[in-house]
Amino acid sequence: MRFAVASVLAFASSVTAVGNAIVVNSTPSTFYLWSVGGSVGPRQTIAAGGNYTEVLHRDAKTGGIAIKITKTADGLYTGAPTQQFSYSLDGAQVWYDLSATMGEPFNGQRVTVTANGGGTIDWPKGSNPGGSQVKVTSSDSNVVFTAYGPA
Ligand SMILES: *[C@@H]1O[C@H](CO)[C@@H](O)[C@H](O)[C@H]1NC(C)=O
């Protein structure tokens, strides 16, 4: 009996131990983001010094999630330069990457993605330095995108 309870608890904690995707605004200005899978989530306004957190998850349709960040309030819909912090939860692992489309919104500012036990993606000047921008870590880690102010 005691053994059965212990294994149920161990199983419950192994399936619930999933990290978060976190976006940190270390710039002096507000920016905006949308979490996009098979559909587009509500706009989130991230004030200077603020952050956004979601539990790592899979989208039923697309699998992966793209967190799309722009400096303008309707940027997703107006073709503004967009930073894309994407992740794909794959069982015990989470793959993450950084890209930009329609231009690089943080050009001249540093952006990074870090995770415990995983590689760091670092764009020191806010533009893609080239090479692979895809990293992996265990799915119980937090994966953190940070944008910094202009140097
Ligand atoms: C996110 O913001 C909350 C509330 O201000 C703060 O307590 C927390 O430390 C922040 N997290 C990160 C990763 O910056």
Name the pTM for this structure. Answer: 0.88
Q: Is 143 near ligand 1, meaning CB less than 6 Å away?
A: no
Could you give all domains of the chain from N- to C-terminal order, each with its CATH number?
Answer: 17-150 (2.60.110.10)
Find tokens 């559909």 and name the residue.
Answer: 39
The one-digit pLDDT tens for each residue of the chain (151 residues) are 455 555 555 554 455 589 999 999 999 999 999 999 999 999 999 999 999 999 999 999 999 999 999 999 999 999 999 999 999 999 999 999 999 999 999 999 999 999 999 999 999 999 999 988 899 999 999 999 999 998 7
In contact, 48 and 9? CB cutoff 8 Å: no
Identity at 88, one-letter amino acid code: S
Atom of ligand 1 nearest to the CA of 53: 1
Three-class DSSP labels, the chain: CHHHHHHHHHHHHHHHCCCEEEEEEECCCCEEEEEECCCECCCEEECCCCEEEEECCCECCCECEEEEEECCCCHHHHCCCEEEEEEEEECCEEEEEEEEECCCCCCCEEEEEEECCCCCEEECCCCCCCCCCEEEEECCCCEEEEEEEEC
Task: Give φ, ψ of 42 to 5 degrees.
Answer: -65, 150
- Position 90 scores a pLDDT of 93
Pocket test for ligand 1, best of 23, 25, 33, 51 (most atoms within 8 A of CB): 51
- Position 76 scores a pLDDT of 97
- Position 150 scores a pLDDT of 86
